[in-house]
Amino acid sequence: MSETTAPVAPLTALSAIAGDQPAETAAAPGVAPDASTSQPADSTTTTEPAADEAPAVKLPGKDATPEQWSEFYKQIGAPDKAEAYELPLPEGDSGEFAKTASEWFKEAGLLPQQAKALATRWNEFTLAQQKAYEVSEQARIQALDAKNKEEDASLRTEWGQKHDGNLELARRAARQFFPKDKVSDVVTALEDKLGYAETIKLLHSIGKGLAEHDAPGLGQQTGGGRKSIAEVLYGGTSPS
């Protein structure tokens, strides 16, 4: 946005009362205007601007070039360099975004006070968004934790005394088939799709297949090395 020279406001009763503009003094009834001070209606006399009065700034036309607009922005107070804006930074901010924003503001011809106001508002907005996200995420985590604990209790009841052994088989499946640095990501992705209990059951079913085809020690193998998922799930034959 850019500022332009405001047009002279017309004389109104309010402006006259407020003293913004002098109201014309009406002649007293029955008294003719002083001819020596009156001006003829078609007078071409003009008032010269005072010596110390700044020249009027002309708003570029609709077909003005970028250079003409740039010159106009400078005349109304836009800085020559983006660094001159000195935008406020949030606590801990590196200032990289502010540097980019300063370039945008310079291209738009914003005045320093305008740029500062926009940056301040943006900082307030992003801070509010961050706080709202943190509150929402905390609520989501609490709800997920309550749901998972409920499903875990149900699974313990369903498996009974076999729960701990079945859970160890599920852990074995994760160790066997998922890269060590990807276990968390893969299990989380499964849980997002299937839920807590169904993810544990899926991994348990894979781990149970490993126990039936592999060495007796959990997490160890003998002979032919690591089995493929097809070998575990389909007994070494390709699915039909």
Of residues 52 and 109, more confidently modeled: 109
* pTM of the model as a whole: 0.53
**Residue whose entry in the numeric block shows the structure tokens 């070039």:** 65
Please determine, for residue 214, whether its predicted confidence score (pLDDT) is greater than 80: no
Please determine, for residue 157, whether its predicted confidence score (pLDDT) is greater than 90: yes
**Quick one: pLDDT at residue 112?**
93
Distances (CA, A) of 176 to 190, 196, 229: 16, 20, 10
Please determine, for residue 233, whether its predicted confidence score (pLDDT) is greater than 70: no
The two structure tokens encoding residue 158? 């369903």
* Pick from 54, 51, 102, 111: nearest CA to 78: 111
Query: How far apart are the C-alpha atoms of 151 and 169, rounded to whole Å?
Result: 18
Of residues 107 and 45, more confidently modeled: 107
- pLDDT band, residue 39 (cuts 50/70/90): low
Q: Work out the number of other CB atoms within 10 angstroms of the CB of residue 183.
A: 14
Q: Is 161 exposed, middle or buried, given 0-12, 13-18 or 19+ CB atoms closer than 10 A?
A: exposed
The two structure tokens encoding residue 212? 């039936």
**Quick one: pLDDT at residue 73?**
86
- pLDDT band, residue 231 (cuts 50/70/90): very low
- pLDDT band, residue 11 (cuts 50/70/90): very low
Please determine, for residue 87, whether its predicted confidence score (pLDDT) is greater than 90: yes
Q: Is 123 exposed, middle or buried, given 0-12, 13-18 or 19+ CB atoms closer than 10 A?
A: middle
Please determine, for residue 196, whether its predicted confidence score (pLDDT) is greater than 80: yes
Please determine, for residue 175, whether its predicted confidence score (pLDDT) is greater than 70: yes
Please determine, for residue 104, whether its predicted confidence score (pLDDT) is greater than 80: yes
Please determine, for residue 176, whether its predicted confidence score (pLDDT) is greater than 60: yes
The two structure tokens encoding residue 120? 């301040």
Residue 22 has, within 13 A of its CA and on its CB side, a CA count of: 3
**Quick one: pLDDT at residue 71?**
85
Q: Work out the number of other CB atoms within 10 angstroms of the CB of residue 194.
A: 13
- pLDDT band, residue 53 (cuts 50/70/90): low
Average pLDDT of the segment spanning 190-219: 79
